[in-house]
Amino acid sequence: MMRSLYSGVAGLKTHQTKMDVIGNNIANVNTIGFKSSSVLFRDVLYQTTSSATGATRDTGGTNAAQIGLGTKMSSIQTKMESGAAQSTNNPYDLMLDSSSFFVVGRGGTNYFTKVGNFEIDGAGCLVTSNGYQVMGWQVDPENPTQIKRDTVTALYPESAENKKSSPEQTTMMHMIGNIDMTDPDLTSTDGSVISVSIYDSLGYNYTVKYKITKDQTVADDSMYNLELVSIRDANNVEILGADDPTTTDVVEGGYTATMNGSTNPIKIKFDADNGKFVYAGTAGQKEALLEIKPMDPTKKGDVFTSVVNGETVDGITVDFSNLTMYEADGESSAKMIRGSVDKVGGGRAMGSLKNVNIDNSGKIYGVYSNGETKLLGQIAVANFTNPMALEAMGNSMYQATQNSGEFDGIGVAVDDDGGKITQGVLEMSNVDLSSEFTEMITTQRGFQANSRIITTSDTMLEELVNLKR
Distance of CA 319 to the CA centre of its chain: 36
Closest alpha carbon to 4 in 460, 360, 464: 460
How far is residue 442's CA from residue 18's CA, in Å, rounded to a whole number? 10
How far is residue 301's CA from residue 239's CA, in Å, rounded to a whole number? 13
How far is residue 211's CA from residue 282's CA, in Å, rounded to a whole number? 19
Quick one: DSSP state of residue 296?
S
**Do 169 and 347 meet the contact criterion of CB atoms below 8 Å apart?**
yes
Query: Phi, psi at residue 326, to the nearest 5°?
Result: -160, 170
Element (H, E) at 441: helix 433-465
* Cα dihedral across residues 407, 413, 415, 420: positive or negative: positive
How far is residue 105's CA from residue 133's CA, in Å, rounded to a whole number? 5
DSSP string, 353-366: EEEEEE-TT-EEEE
- pLDDT tens digits, the chain, 469 residues: what are they? 578 888 889 999 999 999 999 999 999 999 999 999 999 999 887 777 788 888 887 888 888 888 888 888 888 988 888 889 999 989 999 999 988 999 999 989 999 999 999 999 999 999 999 999 999 999 999 898 999 999 999 999 999 999 999 899 999 999 999 999 999 999 998 999 999 999 988 888 889 999 999 998 888 889 999 999 888 887 777 766 544 444 444 444 567 888 888 888 999 999 998 999 999 999 999 999 998 887 766 655 577 887 776 677 788 999 999 999 998 888 999 999 999 999 899 999 999 999 999 999 999 999 999 989 999 999 999 999 999 999 999 888 999 999 999 999 999 999 998 899 999 999 999 999 999 999 999 999 999 999 999 999 888 888 888 887 6
Query: Phi, psi at residue 368, to the nearest 5°?
Result: -110, 160
How far is residue 151's CA from residue 376's CA, in Å, rounded to a whole number? 16
pTM of the model: 0.78
